[in-house]
A and B are shown apart, each in its own frame.
Chain A
Amino acid sequence: MMSKTLKDLAPGEKARIKAVTGNGSVRRRIIEMGLVPGVELTMERYAPLGDPVEVSNPGFFLSLRKEEADTIVLEENAEEEQ
């Protein structure tokens, strides 16, 4: 399966969350922070050393490692806003 994940987002790009895979405490933390399906995220930047990454949702900045960003599956053609 080659679904697009948060890891694939380049800085400045936006996309909506489709699903959060993974399990245990990482997933719990991610979804409790509000990263649930339907939410739109903007990739803000990669850290100076390339990892972790920073994403934003209006008013809220969150950092996560690429391995964790890889568990957040995004909707395709997210650039088209309804």
Chain B
Amino acid sequence: MDEKRIVIALAGNPNSGKTTIFNNLTGARQHVGNYPGVTVEKKEGWLKHQGFEIEVIDLPGTYGLSAYSPDEVVARNVIVNDKPDLVVNIADASNLERSLYLNTQLKELEVPIVLVLNMADVAEKNGITINYELMSQLLGMTVVRAVGTKNEGTVTILDTVVNTFAGEDKPSERMLRYRPEIEEEINSLLELPFAGRQSGSPSSEAAAAGNLDGILNYPLRWTIIKLLERDRELTKKLENNSEGKVLLKQIEQSRQRITDKTGDDPEMALVEDRYAFIRGVCREASQITIISKQSLTEKIDNVLLNRALGIPLFLGMMWLLFQLTFTLGTPPMEWIEAGFTALGGWLNEVMAEGLLRSLLVDGIIAGVGGVIVFLPNILLLFLGIAFLESTGYMARAAFVMDKVMHQAGLHGKSFVPMLIGFGCTVPALMASRTLENPRDRLVTMLVTPLMSCGARLPVYTLLIGAFFAPQIAGNILFSLYIIGIVLAIIMARVFRTWLLPGESEPFVMELPIYRLPTLKSVLIHMWERAWLYLKKAGTIILALSIVMWGLFTFPTVDKEGHEFESAVEQVENSYAGRMGKVIEPVLRPLGFDWKTGVALVAGLGAKEIVVSTLGTLYSIEDEEGLAEEEEPVVKSFAQRAREQSGYSPLVAYVLMLFTLIYVPCLAVVAVMKRETNGWKWPLFTVGYTIALAWVVCFLVYRGGLLLGIG
């Protein structure tokens, strides 16, 4: 059984097309989770090939294996601790030298590698000819040609994996040799007495005993090299250990000798030697036959990154994304809405009146239906974002926006999580891990909830539809998104100045060549994001809908045990109604009544619930209204909201503003707790967003009244 199983880890640079290859290999048999203890996403997939059960672990995309980002630490720890049978390294054939750098790093971890030169078609078009056989010999591993976007090479990769595993293709164990001055130091460090005892798994006992047993479970040569490069993680491990301190002292002496002899600092000398080796391999095994002319990417960037056009085009792209989402999303939304209305109506007919029917119709269908109805919008939005990400425009957006973001105390890369925040704050917070500097990352996470997520859209759509003319609806919606962005910039500046002062992260980022993504990749990407939203809707929101239904339904009788005379009276006396009334004095200055208060309390659970709660409130009133008229007219949600809430357009706008700004949902609080490793920052976010929402809404409402609006 066991010998029929192969575990492979997929490594590669960001933008190497690794995800496409992963999708080609595993298809839909994927699972997305998290690495334990850290917040780096873990993707796994399974497949069968030549009778082998192959498990594929998708490592985070990295350029090297230094300890400068959590991604790099995870990648190397998976290789060392999980001991995959082999690593499949995806390199960009059109960008060989830089891509092979990671390969030299992987090789030093002493794990068998299959090297895949992806995007070979692009390389060939650029006039690069690669001698795969020669390269295999020079690197001591099998090198495979692939074009991920055309699903070329997938079977060859799998055949090579099986052959390498079965021992037919034997990777050479020869290591990259550095210049003699460095090799001399490495060899003398390898001979130190404690160096040989590093095998075995890490144990805290050994650490406490003050020796190195089990602390350094990485391959020894690699460990020495990394220490010569002053690797943060390894150095930290050694600092708290008496033997480690001795080793560190030896390392420092070696570093000094290397500097004295070569005139270069060891970090630079090691990287230079790796690149010299790579250049040698490339010179022998590849050939550039055509003098490269201006590439398509350069031509596109001449327009998209043009000094005059860059920003208008960026804003236009964002505007287009939203217009498409909403224009295309409306018809299916209406079908779903009609479907749920019909379902509720049917259940009302076939079921006997009672608590169960009330739970099903008013709790479950009203709650979850009100969420699922907006799925078309969210799917379209994520489709657009997936497209922008996989074409390569997302990096350009960061390039265009960096100056603004930097002035706000953020990073051009902060733009990416913030943009994803327009879809859902949960994956957006996860995306913030691409920021290496913890402070930049934290500030980004604190302000990302101000980006108006997809779950807030139902609230806007409902209120805008009910209170504003269709001609200005788009502008009203756009204004909310803009206010969110402006507030995020202001708050980021405030946090960066007062709360978390310090240096910001470097902005060294690759601008990948433009590529047309495969439909499959975009769909899988979209589905992953949409699934997160649905899971949230399905679990937390269903649970909260039932809790909300309970809060609204109970108590069913008053203190004397009499039934309430009307539905409104019943709601007013329900637990939810009482809660709304308790906070009403605080919300009065913003123009909100207790029902709005109830909806906002419910929205603490998840923003979508603001709508379903308003829905529950008005569907209850609606039943009463229908009973009086004795006319089963089915009115739209928007109509009922307009007629029965008594909101002025100003109040409706302020309610949208409040929904935009105050507390992200419970799922966001939970994710933030995990991302920041504690309750401090999520609770801080809850507090600051409520305070900010109140202040902004107060100013807008009072200002609006003074101007005579509303």
Contact = CB atoms under 8 A, between A and B. Distances in A.
Interface of A: 20, 25-34, 36-37, 44-52, 54, 58-65, 68
A54 B305 CA distance: 10
Nearest to B65: A32
B307 A46 contact: yes
A58 B273 CA distance: 20
Contacts of A48: 305-311, 400
B436 A25 contact: yes
A64 B507 contact: yes
B66 interface: yes
B507 A68 contact: yes
A59 B307 CA distance: 23
Contacts of B412: 52, 63
B297 A36 contact: no
Interface string B258-299: 000000000110011001000000000000000010000110
Contact of A65 (B64, B311, B406, B436): B406
Given A48-B306, A59-B94, A34 B399 contact: no
Interface in B469-504: none
Chain B, interface residues (CB within 8 Å), range:
35 or more
23 contacts: A25-B505, A26-B506, A31-B268, A32-B64, A32-B101, A33-B508, A36-B272, A44-B298, A44-B301, A45-B301, A47-B400, A48-B307, A48-B400, A49-B311, A50-B403, A52-B412, A61-B511, A61-B512, A63-B395, A63-B398, A63-B508, A63-B511, A65-B506
A37 B507 contact: no
A20 B374 CA distance: 52
Given A27-B267, A33-B98, A63-B507, A58 B436 contact: no
A60 B100 CA distance: 13
B252 interface: no
Contacts of B395: 63
For the complex of A and B, the 5 pairs showing the least CB-CB separation, nearest first, are A48-B310, A26-B506, A49-B403, A61-B511, A32-B64
A21 B115 CA distance: 33
Contacts of B66: 28, 32
A8 B96 CA distance: 28
Contacts of B275: 34, 36
A62 B511 contact: yes
Contacts of B403: 47, 49-52
Given A28-B68, A32-B63, A61 B513 contact: yes
Contact of B402 (A28, A34, A47, A58): A47
Contacts of B506: 25-26, 29-30, 64-65, 68
A30 B101 CA distance: 13
Given A33-B63, A45-B305, A47-B403, A52 B272 contact: no
Interface string B390-434: 000001001110111010000010000000000000000000000
B510 interface: yes
Contacts of B398: 63
Contact of A28 (B267, B272, B400, B406): B267
Interface string B210-240: 0000000000000000000000000000000
A24 B260 CA distance: 21
Contacts of A34: 97-98, 101, 275
A81 to B, nearest CB: 13
A34 B66 CA distance: 14
Contact of A59 (B126, B271, B406, B507): B126
B698 to A, nearest CB: 34
A30 B400 CA distance: 20
Contact of A61 (B267, B297, B306, B508): B297
Contact of A68 (B64, B272, B508, B511): B508
B320 interface: no
Contacts of B64: 32
A29 B402 contact: no
A32 to B, nearest CB: 4
A37 B264 CA distance: 11
Contacts of A31: 267-268, 271-272
Contact of A54 (B271, B306, B399, B404): B399
Contacts of B402: 47, 51-52, 63, 65
Contacts of A61: 297, 301, 510-513
Given A27-B267, A28-B68, 8 more contacts: A26-B508, A32-B66, A47-B403, A48-B305, A59-B95, A60-B98, A62-B509, A65-B507
A60 B97 CA distance: 10
Contacts of B101: 32, 34
Contact of A47 (B271, B309, B310): B310
